Structure 1
Amino acid sequence: MAPRPYFFGVYHWRERLRRIALSVLLLAASVVVFRRGRRALRVLAVVVSAGACYRGGDAARRLLSPPPWALDRRKYDALGSVLALDGSDRILDVGCGTGRSLVGLAPHLPAGASVVGCDVFDDRVILGNGPALARRNGALAGVDVSPVAGDAAHLPFADGAFDAVTACRVLHDVPEADRDAAFAELRRVCADDGTVGLLELPITPDGVDDHEAYWRGCLEATGLAVERVATVDRPTRDGTYVAIAATPA
């Protein structure tokens, strides 16, 4: 029997489906006008229908970007390569969502480790984002995930509860007003002899060009010493992912 495919959800599904529906309505209205209207209205109908086809097609393409079943493992391998996870019995992935990061890191996780995935599980942004999907995708990758609902800036765990804490492509989405608190929480729940792993996009506040230096600075400002850094080119867009491993200073 073929293995079941992963399903990591559909990103920004409400916005993109709304654009597709609007484009279909505009296209239908343009067809009616073209058939019944005068020459000037027919020209306008052609212009509107062309725009509707372009916008609807773009939204449909973006609806499956990234593909809900695909995993770009390179960036997670980069994080796994800089993290020292051997001997980590308790691992927390902050912002696990539907489990994409857990599946990506699965080959680097020690056998028998206790793995917790924490997320707000908001399905308004990612279709299907919930504990059940995170648990399912983790199980397909051989990871027994315990999902816990929580906010990155207010993690519901005790001080030093985990040997390793990871945050993959999530902290850039945390509002700037709460970002310092989120990094402080990563440090707080990490054991003093543990490690924190960060995987981030080149998305930084306005006026900040060096995203590697920015994310390093965020970790260092909260009492973490950067140990190792790796970068990976993004396959479809400019810029690089940065993977950083840091330990309590």
Structure 2
Amino acid sequence: MSIDPAKPFISHLIELRKRLLYCLITLLIVFLALVYFANDIYQLVSAPLIKQLPAGASMIATDVASPFLTPIKLTIMVSLLLSAPLILYQIWAFIAPALYQHERRLMLPLLASSSLLFYMGMAFAYFIVFPLAFGFFTQTAPAGVLIATDINHYLDFVMALFIAFGVSFEIPVAIILLCWCGVTTPDDLKKKRPYVLVGVFIIGMLLTPPDIFSQTLLAIPMYLLFEVGILSAHFYAKKPRTKQVSKP
């Protein structure tokens, strides 16, 4: 009996389509559950700026459709972020059959921890960085300048910061993957601590307002996450192969 070589490939395509469909359904369900609260979600996200605005100042909408489209745009982004763990699980379910057992033991905890760290980075930006940053911006405005931030521009700004801080908090996951792949080792990373310390402060300078306090608030967590990544990488780093000496 002849075996059709295209059948395995077609079965993979069917499986991929099924997983993508699950992802879209998950995203749609979360969006439909949140869309009614779109304005409330935007008020929650804009609260750090509104609290820092001086008396008489407010946010504005310069486009006709912005009052409607901007909260919807934010709701779509929030739905994607909330659906991320389930979407990552679908990706995991698709690639897991092709992995070895030890690779599965590595990847599943990394997927869970990467989602948690990303959310922690966003929470850090919202509760710590935003109040300090917006307080700095509003207090340094020139005299006679009325602060009136466009709601769409504000959304683009905070989403960029959310993603930047979320990605920054993925440092332990990145270190574990690099050590597991053999690109580097925990011992090599320990030798680079002075460079990493300078680097996190440079990143803090680029992502935060130009004051040393805000830069330190980002640099210190990033460096601590670097140390956590080194400690965790010891459990996943590739062990050097011992050379066997042949007996004469």
One fold, TM greater than 0.5? no
| TM-score of the superposed pair, with normalisation by structure 1 | 0.25
Asked which structure has the greater RCO (Cα within 8 Å, sep 6+), the reply is: 2
**Structure with the larger strand share:** 1
Q: TM-score, normalised by structure 2?
A: 0.26
Select the structure of larger CA radius of gyration: 2
Query: Which has the larger helix fraction?
Result: 2
